[in-house]
Every structure is written in C-alpha cells, then in structure tokens.
Amino acid sequence: MKPVAIDMDYLHDTLLALLNIHSPTGMCDQIVHYVGSALQEIGIDFNVTRRGAIRANLKGGGKNWDRALAVHLDTVGAMVCKLKANGRLGLLPVGTWPARLAEGGRVTLFTAGGPHRGTVLPRLASGHVYADQVNAQPATWENLEVRIDLECESEVDLSQAGFEVGDFVAFDALPEFSPEGYINARHLDDKAGVALVLAVAKAITESGTRLPLDCHLLFTITEEVGSGASSAVYQDVAELVVIDHAPVAAEQNASELGLTICMMDQAGPFDYHLNRKLIDLCQQHDIAYRKDVFRHYRSDSASAIAAGNDTRTALACFGVDGSHGYERTHVKALTAVADLMSLYVQSPLTFKRDREGMAPLNGFPHQPSRDIIQIET
C-alpha cells in the first residue's frame, strides 16, 4: 500500500474555484452545485439531503460497514440586524468569530432584489477625524457597520434600495497563492479540506485503486454553527475522519507547514485507536506529523456523535495561521493530509468487530495498561 499520486494542479484550481464561491452558513446552494458537478466529472455517485449536505460514495469491498471522510462547505459570515439612521447596516456574526477579524472586509450583501457590495468598518473609522478614539473603541460586532457602495444616507434610503434585516453578508476570500507554496485567503477553513478530499477522490478513482470497504465523502453545510454532520452520517459508518484546519499559534503545537492529528478538542478526546492508526500510517510512510490539543474548537465529529452515531472519530488537519480571519496555510500541509487520507481509505477497518454496531465483548480492543501500583500508607 502506498499513497496515490495527487494531481496538485487540480487541487489548486479546485481550491481557487471554491474560494471564489460565497458560502456562509445558510447560503450554500451554489457551492453544493459546484461540488456535485465536480463529483459527477470524477464519476462518483452521491445524494443530497433536503438542506444540501452531500453524501458521496467511493465504492469498496465491504458489505454492511463503511468509513467516511467529512469536510464542510460552509464558512463564517454575517447577517444584517439593523438598518441604521446613518445609511449603514448593523451586523451579527454567522458562526463564532471575533469582530476584530471582520474589520476592513469587502463583502457582498444578498438582498431580495440582488447582490450589492460594501465594506465592513468600525463605527469610528477615520483617524483624521477621531484620532486616538479609533483605537480606543471596542472591537465588537455591535460597533461594526457595513458601508454600502450605493448612495444611502438614511434608514429610508437603505429600505428603498431593498435592504432588510436578515440579509446575508458574505466576506470576500481574496485568495493569493505564492511561489513559495503559501496560500493566503479567508475561508481556507474548510475549503482547503474540500479541495483536498476531491483531489484524493479523483486520484483514487482514476488510478483504479481498490478499496477494502466503501468510503463515504461527506460535505456538510452547517459546521460553523455546530450541527454539520448531524444528519449526514448513517449508522453503517464504523469510522469517521474529519478533515479541517489546525489553528496555529504560539500556544499550539500545530504547524501550517504540515499535518496535525488532533488528540482532543473542546468536545473531548478523539478515538484512541483510530488516532493510533493514523499515526502508524504516518510513521510507516514517512509523513511528517504533529499532535495537538485544541481548546476552543469544535468539529463535525462532535455533531456526528451528538446526533447519536456510534462511530470512531478522528480529526486530521492542515495547519492554518490566523483562523477565521485572513488565513494562511502551505501546500505542504495539504499534500501531507491528502497523502494520509489516500492511505487511510486503502487500509482495512481498524477492528473487525466494528463491522457490527453491537457485538459480544470478545474482540473488543484493549488500551495500554499496567499493574496497579501498591502504595503502603
């Protein structure tokens, strides 16, 4: 078993196309159509839920048990909460992200009459007018507003232009691919994950690689609000690996130059044995990796488990600096995750016993243990 060759040009072009499609949570129809078309071009069967989550299938040799890879199509964004007397629009976040990272963003506002362009600014935006007050004002969503690229100077102007409370606001990705391999953009979380999963699926399909069991490719649409994989995972999935970003910071062990295997996030530890399997594959095939723990982070794994799915879960990540802002990763990280996933889908089920949801104790795995230490008191 060895990694399949990933078409990096395809990954690049697919990521660029995804980044140029607005998809804040609640407005994912266009990107669902794009990913569906990409799957059709590769020749992979799929179905779509009522709301738009995609469940594709890489056929394998299994009968009643499967595995799955999950990524999410939705991104953070915002929604209009107020038409203001100064002709600007108040905002609330869609998803969990700091107001400070939204400042200066160029946006598209989707109204019933069509899209309009604008810029997100703090209420006091000019240093020439407000001097030190610009830095002193709070960095909160209540203090942000959208300056519309229309002649709107009052609430009446906004209403007549077709703006309403509840209009979606999508932030431009502004992608930039450097010759050194760095990728800068908003929404690499998780569009880089989507692109690499499509690239792995294309490589597996075109190479004719035979898989030991079916592998579902799950593309969820509400991860940023916490419910992503709740309706996409079926009970025949014995193992689920989520592909998402690893936040890079001085307090973290992750690197934007490579693969990170998350041992625990705020929802709790990931499956010991499935994590061990991924680490073993990395070691056997010389894929550099790091392990990390994410303190303020929740993924599609948590929503899948919370929905009642009895599946082993793991989280394989590409490192991202500046998560939920203007993010940066490196092609090395995407390549490492893609290589690991191409190996994982070729591997057998972690435990034969997991072919059944409920089974006798015989065959249930053991974790490392040691004899009880006797302490005299």
Question: Does the annotation count 356 as an active-site position?
Answer: no
3-state secondary structure the chain: CCCCCCCHHHHHHHHHHHHCCCCECCCCHHHHHHHHHHHHHHCCEEEECCCCCEEEEECCCCCCCEEEEEEECCECEEEEEEECCCCCEEEEEECCCCHHHCCCCEEEEEECCEEEEEEEEECCCCHHHHCCHHHHCCCCHHHEEEEECCCCCCHHHHHHCCCCCCCEEEECCCCEECCCCEEEECCHHHHHHHHHHHHHHHHHHHHCCCCCCCEEEEEECCHHHCCHHHCCCCCCEEEEEEEEEEEECCCCCCCCCCEEEEEEECCEECCHHHHHHHHHHHHHCCCCEEEEECCCCCCHHHHHHHCCCCCEEEEEEEEEECCCCCEEEEHHHHHHHHHHHHHHCCCCCCCHHHHCCCCCCCCCCCCCCCCCCCCCC
145, 223, 239, 327: which one is catalytic?
A: 223
Active-site positions read: 223
